[in-house]
Amino acid sequence: MRKIKGIKAEGSGLKSKTLSNRRCYSAQSLCLSGSNKKWLFILFFIVIILPISSFAQKQRLKMNDKQIVIYQLLPRLFGNKNTTNISYGTIEQNGSGKFNDITDKALDGIKELHVNYIWYTGVLAHASLTDYATYGIKPDDADVVKGRAGSPYAIRDYYDVDPDLAVDIKNRMKEFEALVKRTHAKNLKVLIDFVPNHVARSYHSGAKPKDVIDFGADDDVSKAFSTKNDFYYIPRQALVVPTNGQKTPLSVLQDGKFDENPAKATGNNVFSAQPRYDDWYETIKLNYGVDYQNGEKEYFDPIPPVWLKMRDILIFWTNKGVDGFRCDMAEMVPIAFWNWVIPQVKKSNPDLIFIGEAYNPKVYKQYLDEGKFDYLYDKVGLYDGLKRLIRNEPNADVKDIRFIWQQESAGFGHRMLRFLENHDEERIASAGFAGKAELALPAMVISATLGGGPVMLYFGQDVGEPGKGQEGYGGDDNRTTIFDYWGVPNHQKWMNGGLFDGHKLNAAQQNLRAYYKELLKVTSTSDAVINGKIYEVPVTGNMNKRMYAFIRYSGKQRLLVVANFDRDQTLTAKIEIPEEVLKVKSSSPVTELLTDRKLNIPAGTSIPVNLAPVSAQVIEF
């Protein structure tokens, strides 16, 4: 979900060279056919294919034995060493990170957090005001671009990468491919964004394969809706560009006009020639065969052209070595499309993962079962509840945690992606969220242990990035901008000019990163977290609505997780262990895993807990 100036995008609420039969080997001038060829193939299969397949299977099993830990970064920001930070600054003024900045040292530094997937955000070419006309890429119209760098979710070419991210613009795709290879060499997997709901108003692919037809190229623009069209139209009306009336350094580039006649429907389902400034006016909605203006009637047979084009785009990036896709605003695209396309793409690589950005808990299970997603965002449920606890809001209550795993995602909690930061959300350490990164540590423990599904970090989260500054279009909104060229201060301290050793971090920042390392070391390999059951500890001792405890247990391990969100009160309790958990193999001595401290507690039927305010423990017993 992208926060777009003044609008919070909720769930949509919508209904959902062929080889010849003979191969000649010139070295011996021998042509193999019949039985000779057959036996050569069998020998090749035994000596070459079987060992490779066995190795690949072992690698998959190895990954499945670990919790997925995702590290999200924007290459444009991640590798940027420039600290100028002029509001609305150009790429020359404020700089931009490159694919090449994500070096082996950088990847090693990320791996220290026990990460196994990296989500490279903003890789695809998107609308921007930066001029690359020398390379055949003109700047976009400032009236339909948000910020100077532009939104990574207004794609202008699905078959190209952002030129900002390349050192050698002509070879930008090769630089991305090299990044994928570097990432894989570190035994890390690659995620990128798939943005299926909308494209930039300026969309035109200059990099597409020769047989690909551009979106809208064959549309009948006289029809508001057609099963053969890629876009929706407002016939006989030209687009009216919205404005908020405020002057910015970009105003000199804006004339209030954009040549689009007839107008196309706007990305957030606005079927009007006059979208508002708070709409996703920089994007146009793609047509998946749903006639929204006539009762949302669905036309999925024959398969809509957009479906086929999107499948080919996903396969294109899969063939580049991408290991999975974070699917933007998945609920704004019909479930029927996901049900069709995900299995189609997985034929190219069965190990691909698809993560859906979703905000309507009522359809979570449907998108997992029918839609074939591997994982979905757990934002509206767990994230929102934990944010209230972190902020110590009056209505904060650990019952929100209970509701998530016992009701909202009961039976599929292991398929929910948990996080406390991403590009859409406020930075924990920002003044508008918690003001101090350490206040979120109990919540991070809950996020990493409540289910066996993926847990995600946003770059800079582990060093308390506060998201300060009037960046440009992003504004001073407690977030790290995705629209502007910018340097990210605390992250730059860890980056240390490309050494990625954290030597410029202060003691508190180093301690925070060390905590994240230890927590994810514990949870990413914990059998109880990945495969175990969950038992909620009843309220006991002085536990209040800001204190929570549960046990995760499997046939190999049992863990007691205790979190105290209370700002003032120490949690004191004697936690009784139920009979069903006592049957599980015990660990001796009893150990608090986050500190590796051996607790002087005899293995028995209860565990005494004395937990300071705003802290958490993971006790193996």
pLDDT value of residue 588: 84
Of 472, 502, 524, the residue that ends a domain is 524
Range with the poorest average pLDDT among 52-66, 279-293, 307-321, 450-464: 52-66
DSSP 444-484: HHHHHHSSSS-EEEETTGGGT----S--STT-SSSS--SSS
Q: Do residues 516 and 543 both lie within one domain?
A: no
Of 486, 508, 524, the residue that ends a domain is 524
Local structure of 294: helix, strand or coil: coil
pLDDT surpassing 50 at residue 573? yes
Report whether 290 contacts 226 (CB < 8 A).
no
Q: Where are the beta strands (DSSP E) in 52-102?
A: 69-73
607 domain residue, yes or no: yes
Backbone angles phi, psi at 282, to 5 degrees: -80, -5
pLDDT bin (cut points 50, 70, 90) of residue 603 is: low
Q: Do residues 458 and 566 both lie within one domain?
A: no
Q: In whole angstroms, what is the distance from residue 61 CA to residue 19 CA?
A: 33
Residue 427 DSSP label: P
Report whether 266 contacts 279 (CB < 8 A).
yes
279 domain residue, yes or no: no
pLDDT value of residue 38: 40
**Of 274, 280, 384, nearest in space to 329 by CA:** 280
Q: Do residues 495 and 381 both lie within one domain?
A: yes
Six-digit token string for 299: 């036309």
Q: What domain range includes position 190?
A: 69-214+300-524
Across residues 261-274, what is the average pLDDT?
Answer: 98
Work out the burial of residue 343: count CB atoms within 10 Å of its CB; fewer than 13 is exposed, 13-18 middle, 19 or more buried: exposed
Q: In whole angstroms, what is the distance from residue 277 CA to residue 108 CA?
A: 42
Q: Count the Cβ atoms, other than its own, within 10 Å of residue 265.
A: 25
pLDDT bin (cut points 50, 70, 90) of residue 56 is: very low
Q: Do residues 175 and 315 both lie within one domain?
A: yes
Q: Do residues 157 and 203 both lie within one domain?
A: yes
Report whether 398 contacts 547 (CB < 8 A).
yes
Q: In whole angstroms, what is the distance from residue 338 CA to residue 372 CA?
A: 7
Total of domains in the chain: 2
Residue 101 DSSP label: G
What's the chain's average pLDDT?
Answer: 91
Range with the poorest average pLDDT among 44-58, 97-111, 421-435, 512-526: 44-58
The dihedral over CA atoms of 601, 607, 613, 615, expressed in degrees to the nearest 10, equals 80
From residue 459, alpha-carbon distances to 190, 429, 465, 577 in Å are 15, 13, 9, 38
Q: Which residues pair with 559 in a beta bridge?
A: 552, 620
Could you tell me whether strands 558-564 and 571-576 are parallel, antiparallel, or unpaired per DSSP bridges? unpaired
Between 525 and 12, whose confidence is greater?
Answer: 525
Q: Do residues 329 and 386 both lie within one domain?
A: yes
pTM above 0.75, yes or no: yes
383 domain residue, yes or no: yes
Handedness of CA 241, 242, 246, 249 (dihedral sign): negative
Local structure of 38: helix, strand or coil: helix
pLDDT value of residue 447: 98
The dihedral over CA atoms of 456, 69, 73, 593, expressed in degrees to the nearest 10, equals 80
Q: Do residues 504 and 554 both lie within one domain?
A: no
Q: In whole angstroms, what is the distance from residue 117 CA to residue 324 CA?
A: 9
**Residue 557 sits in a domain of what CATH number?**
2.60.40.1180
The whole-angstrom distance between residue 361's C-alpha and the CA centroid of its chain comes to 18
pLDDT value of residue 64: 55
Q: Do residues 441 and 554 both lie within one domain?
A: no
CA atoms within 13 A on the CB side of 84: 15
Q: Count the Cβ atoms, other than its own, within 10 Å of residue 586.
A: 15
286 domain residue, yes or no: no
Place of tokens 């600290």: 83
pLDDT bin (cut points 50, 70, 90) of residue 604 is: confident
Range with the poorest average pLDDT among 45-49, 280-284, 371-375, 582-586: 45-49
pLDDT value of residue 1: 45
**Of 153, 152, 154, 156, nearest in space to 132 by CA:** 156
The whole-angstrom distance between residue 167's C-alpha and the CA centroid of its chain comes to 25
From residue 138, alpha-carbon distances to 133, 148, 155, 284, 467 in Å are 4, 14, 14, 19, 31
56 domain residue, yes or no: no
% of the chain beyond a pLDDT of 70? 90
Six-digit token string for 562: 């205790």
pLDDT bin (cut points 50, 70, 90) of residue 45 is: very low
pLDDT surpassing 80 at residue 60? no
pLDDT surpassing 50 at residue 417? yes
pLDDT bin (cut points 50, 70, 90) of residue 36 is: very low
Q: Do residues 170 and 317 both lie within one domain?
A: yes
Q: Do residues 547 and 433 both lie within one domain?
A: no
Range with the poorest average pLDDT among 28-37, 267-276, 480-489: 28-37
Q: Do residues 185 and 322 both lie within one domain?
A: yes
Handedness of CA 151, 152, 157, 162 (dihedral sign): positive
Q: In whole angstroms, what is the distance from residue 466 CA to residue 512 CA?
A: 13
Backbone angles phi, psi at 367, to 5 degrees: -70, -30
**Residue 105 sits in a domain of what CATH number?**
3.20.20.80
pLDDT, tens digit, 9 for 90 and up, residues 118-172: 999 999 999 999 999 999 999 999 999 999 999 999 999 999 999 999 999 999 9
**Of 88, 103, 100, nearest in space to 165 by CA:** 100
Local structure of 199: helix, strand or coil: strand
pLDDT surpassing 50 at residue 197? yes
